[in-house]
Amino acid sequence: MRLPYSKAQAKANIQSKLECHFGVTPSRATPEQMYNAVAMAVQDILSAQRREWTEKRRRSKGKTAYYLCMEFLMGRSLKNHLFNLNATSIFTDCVKDMGFNLTDLYELEPDAGLGNGGLGRLAACFLDAAAGLRYPLYGYSIRYDYGIFRQKIVDGWQTELPDFWLPGGEVWLTPRPDEAVTVEFDGEIKDEWNGSHHSVSVTGQHVVTALPYDMMVSGYKSGAVGVLRLWSARSPSFDIGLFNQGDYMHAIEESSMAEVISKVLYPSDNHIEGKSLRLRQQYFLVSASMQDIIRKHIARYGTLANLAEKIAIHINETHPALSIPELMRILLDDHGYGWDDAWAVVTKIVAYTNHTVMHEALEVWPEELFSRMLPRIYQIVHEINERLCKHLWIYYPNDWKKISYMAVIAYGQIRMANLCIACCHSVNGVSTIHSNIIKTSLFADYARTFPEKFTNVTNGIAHRRWLAQSNPELSSLLQELIGNGFLTDAAQLTKLRAYADDPAVLDRLEKIKRNNKARMSDYVKQTTGIILDPDSIFDVQVKRLHEYKRQLMNALHILHLYDLLKANPQLDIPPQTFLFAAKAAPGYLMAKQIIRLICSIAKEIDSDPVISKKLKVVFLEDYRVTLAELLMPSAEISEQISLAGTEASGTGNMKLMINGAVTLGTLDGSNVEMLEAVGENNILIFGLHADEVEALRTKGYSPTAYYHNNPDLRAALDRLSGGIGGIRHPEISDSLIGKGSGQADPYMVLADFASYCTIHEEALARYADRKKWNRMSLINIASAGGFSADRALREYAKNIWDLETVD
């Protein structure tokens, strides 16, 4: 890829942006004005490349894929674009000549508030990979005004604050009002028949305008520029009559109700208003996106006859599952298709990725809410269900229980996962163990009935961002040792294995890790005032806060260490720093209580002048991509400790692995494949296996038996009720040993606790041998290439979308 800018051209463009948009010269510009001017100049480069790329794609006449997800956790854009454009040095020199530091400008950009966790970050990695590999893949989501909340920890409790990301982030969004569409909710359906021809009309519907904003996605030195199209909800009209009459509240009510759709990502759904808003968000996304896809296709080809041959639509989790009935509606109602012809097209186009193995996490909607809000879509889903049940009767005559279990609509609920599986031509899990659980347990009946639909694509990460950009010192060492081919082909990281026993390389690797720990320590001190010891072991657990991820087990183990040191302050264990970062869903009380427990433990340890020299616990608030980019390179132990059979895959484990952290985890999710990649001597595995978990459940799991038979565990649990840092936590201990309501210890923290303590002892023993530990770290880096998003994207393109690159 040839960069179309010289330093002089870039400088002239930045100056022009400052003068035209802000009326200032570089000498008078504020840092914020300079950041925006640089971003606009980069946008110019991307726009030119996008035009060239779009023309190449049009000439190719090949297939185009569309990726729908409720969230895309994009992080910051400026640094990423400059890296991909190979323009970092040019812009560094430009802004330096103008009296600014590019690194300081990076810090002015907020993380794009479009995502929440692993699901959204995976989607972002796939767009990055597609652009780098020159695949015509485009994303669709919602332009949330506030995105995921900004987390503040106050007295140990999570407090949610609005995330004002658009000031500073809006520069990367290009509004396209000429391509706005309308989305309809509610109303009354009127069916009309003229012979065999069926037509539908709707009256009394509420109309919302979907205004598109485009965010460009650059490919690494590829010349390709993908697009993430984000929809913002607007009211289509304003009642000036009411306003002029002085009825201001009613005049703005309709506008406000429309625009709330795109205000916040994942509103709390522990009340009916939240459920209703989530359903509106999902239909808003898919209706606007399906209309846009069809419009683009007709503009390009002039016909829908080749739709199934020219597009692929991918549903990432069930949130965009309404793409299926909405696409059916467009073909049936707007383009005159018959049911069978429309169904044949839709089922060839749409594919689905499942991201959960837990039944309680499968998305369902109350039939009454669904039918009232989306009456025409409900009709179509009802017809899909009727035809599905008739088809299943062929396989399972008289087995109404099995058919009702597989039905889309049953017992007053609409099951989105069943809708996806029944309609999509491909259903994939995101790790080998996850895909096997889908086929043998979660959707076993469907897998037996339609085995050809089921496949696996293990998740992957954007390794250029999470290694080359996040860990530049390590990236430089790798380029020195094995060349820079790994930047475009992550599989070349295996070449690093040749240096596994090279003392000089292992020593340099250790120094780089120490430097990254010092960098992380400086950040923590600057932002929180907390002092970390970069010579201690950095033990890191960073991910969504959920009971199945078992941050609670980590906390109990720390309490155990605290008790050991309290009993014997001279105990010979190395200093350890335990770093947590996670956001809990606003309505998830137990998750918030676990955060409070971790903060209580940190407070008590800090108050002890002796033990605090050996242990440090820090809960880092407001976890986001930018913080992860700093934290991942500093980690030495990567905690991946979910109960076996509950984590679909994970991608944080891959980011930590590629930065040289050693995984301490269960045989869950992609940990299984990581074990195969690195070998058992380079990973720390503990705990029950998935089949053992199931056997223990079948036998009858009794957490109280573990409580009574393990004095270390009993002591830690008793501390919860007795008080830590001046705060008692009886609700947590009760949930584990069965004194509260609900199932006791559903994620078997107590069953795995002893094994978890033992593997930590093993980790410390290995860490004491610096050569052995550094070799383990190197092997992890060298084995991480198979977990790149490039590899995963190629598998989707070849095996599911039938998509080819555009050269």
Catalytic residues: 355, 543-544, 549, 651, 655
DSSP string for residues in 451-474: GGGEEE----B-HIIIIIIT-HHH
**Cα distances (angstroms) measured from residue 106 to each of 13, 35, 91, 468:** 19, 8, 12, 16
Q: Which of 783, 765, 781 is nearest to 773 (CA)?
A: 765
Neighbours of 745 (CB within 10 A): 21
d(CA 558, CA 593): 17
Q: Which of 711, 682, 687, 668 is nearest to 774 (CA)?
A: 682
Q: What's the distance, CA 295 to chain centroid? A: 29
Region for 486 from its dihedrals, namely left if φ exceeds 0, alpha if ψ lies in -120 to 50, beta otherwise: alpha
Q: Which of 402, 486, 416 is nearest to 787 (CA)?
A: 486
Which helix (H) or strand (E) covers residue 130, if one does? helix 118-133
Are 598 and 551 in contact, with CB atoms under 8 Å apart?
yes
Are 685 and 667 in contact, with CB atoms under 8 Å apart?
yes
Are 385 and 409 in contact, with CB atoms under 8 Å apart?
yes
- Contacts with 440 (C-beta within 8 Å, 6 or more apart), sequence order: 447
- Count CA within 13 A, CB hemisphere, residue 388: 27
Q: Which of 676, 651, 675 is nearest to 663 (CA)?
A: 675
The angle, 0 to 180 degrees and rounded to 10, between the axes of the packed helices 589-606 and 551-567 is: 20
d(CA 310, CA 345): 11
Q: Which tokens in the block code for residue 262?
A: 């795109």
CB neighbour burial string for 714-731, b if at least 16 within 10 angstroms, e if fewer? ebbbebbbeebbebebee
SS (H, E, C) 51-100: HHHHHHHHHHCCCEEEEECCCCCCECCHHHHHHHCCCHHHHHHHHHHCCC
Are 175 and 158 in contact, with CB atoms under 8 Å apart?
no
Which letter does DSSP use for residue 147 in this model?
B
d(CA 390, CA 402): 13
**Cα distances (angstroms) measured from residue 593 to each of 153, 267, 618, 639, 752:** 12, 20, 16, 20, 21
- Contacts with 742 (C-beta within 8 Å, 6 or more apart), sequence order: 735
- Count CA within 13 A, CB hemisphere, residue 546: 16
What is the residue type of 145? Answer: D
Are 604 and 616 in contact, with CB atoms under 8 Å apart?
no
Q: Which of 707, 726, 725 is nearest to 717 (CA)?
A: 707
Q: Which tokens in the block code for residue 635?
A: 């980690």
Q: Which of 151, 543, 588 is nearest to 361 (CA)?
A: 588
Provide the β-strand partners of residue 616: 577
Are 323 and 289 in contact, with CB atoms under 8 Å apart?
yes
Which letter does DSSP use for residue 1 in this model?
-
d(CA 494, CA 788): 13
Using the Cα atoms of residue 446, residue 651, residue 317 and residue 224 in order, give the sign of their dihedral: negative
Are 767 and 535 in contact, with CB atoms under 8 Å apart?
no
Are 131 and 805 in contact, with CB atoms under 8 Å apart?
no
